[in-house]
Amino acid sequence: MKTVLPRATELLFTGFPPDTFAWLEGLESDNSREYFHANRDTYDDCVRGALDAMLEQLAGELGGRVRMFRQHRDLRFSADKSPYKTTTYGLIVDRPGDEFPLYAQLSSSGLFAGSGYHVMAGDQLARFREAIVDERAGTDLERAVADAKRAGLEVFGSELKTAPRGYDRGHKRVALLRHKALFAGARLSPSGRGIGRQAALDHTCDSWAACAPINGWLAANVGPSRDHNV
């Protein structure tokens, strides 16, 4: 009799075994449909299934719902025709009283967890930049970024090559002004045994908690987009 596997959302999270990261390394080396389908069970159980199970457990504790993203790439407007993303990722969204999605990603390098504004609409960018040049709000953001870095996070965000039009290229916070997004997070590298259940949960929750200073600043000074045409 054929064994019926549980749906990913019904799996109990037991950690990320070595097969998780071996599968991702294999996909980097052989980004083909043949590789993917030949190793589909590992993907379903140890990669996407395991990440989905972890996020479902944490959504049960923190509130919100899980949104997992497709492994397939959108090739319509891409010069790179490799069919699959080499990272697997998902979010916890729609948490009561908190607009910021909680992000988690698996790659061959390990487990990354973070939060923030991965993309900002035009009206958000306008408020973001005006807050940065405001002495009080700008100083508060510098402090929030420093707090996040002291907690072990990296701070990311796509950037302009120089200050945005209309802003002083020599401004003392020009490095922040160049950001078009602001996001923080940290990565946990696997050992020979992969990443165990408790280590993964602790890393993910600690990383999300450490994003709080930046997210608090963004909530107070930027907020969600008000442009309903975006």
Residues with Cβ within 8 Å of residue 193, at least 6 apart in sequence: 17, 18
Residues with Cβ within 8 Å of residue 13, at least 6 apart in sequence: 50, 53, 54, 56, 57, 197, 200, 201
Q: Does residue 227 form part of some domain?
A: no
Q: Does residue 169 form part of some domain?
A: yes
Over residues 53-81, mean pLDDT: 90
Q: Does residue 108 form part of some domain?
A: yes
Rounded to the nearest angstrom, the gap between the alpha carbon of residue 92 and the centroid of all alpha carbons in its chain is 10
Over residues 40-48, mean pLDDT: 98
Q: Does residue 230 form part of some domain?
A: no
Return the CATH number at 89.
3.30.930
The better pLDDT of the pair 41, 3 is held by 41
pLDDT of residue 229: 58
Q: Does residue 3 form part of some domain?
A: no
Q: Does residue 127 form part of some domain?
A: yes
pTM, to two decimals: 0.90
Dump pLDDT digits (tens) for 103-134.
999 999 999 999 999 999 999 999 999 999 99
Q: Does residue 183 form part of some domain?
A: yes
Dump pLDDT digits (tens) for 199-219.
999 999 999 999 999 999 999
Dump pLDDT digits (tens) for 134-143.
999 999 999 9
What is the Cα–Cα distance from 116 to 162, expressed in whole angstroms?
22
Q: Does residue 181 form part of some domain?
A: yes
Count the domains in the chain.
1
What is the Cα–Cα distance from 105 to 188, expressed in whole angstroms?
11
pLDDT band at 49; cut points 50, 70, 90:
very high
The tokens for 95 are 């948490």
What is the Cα–Cα distance from 139 to 141, expressed in whole angstroms?
5
Contact 199, 212 (CB under 8 A): no
What is the extent of the structural domain holding 187?
8-221
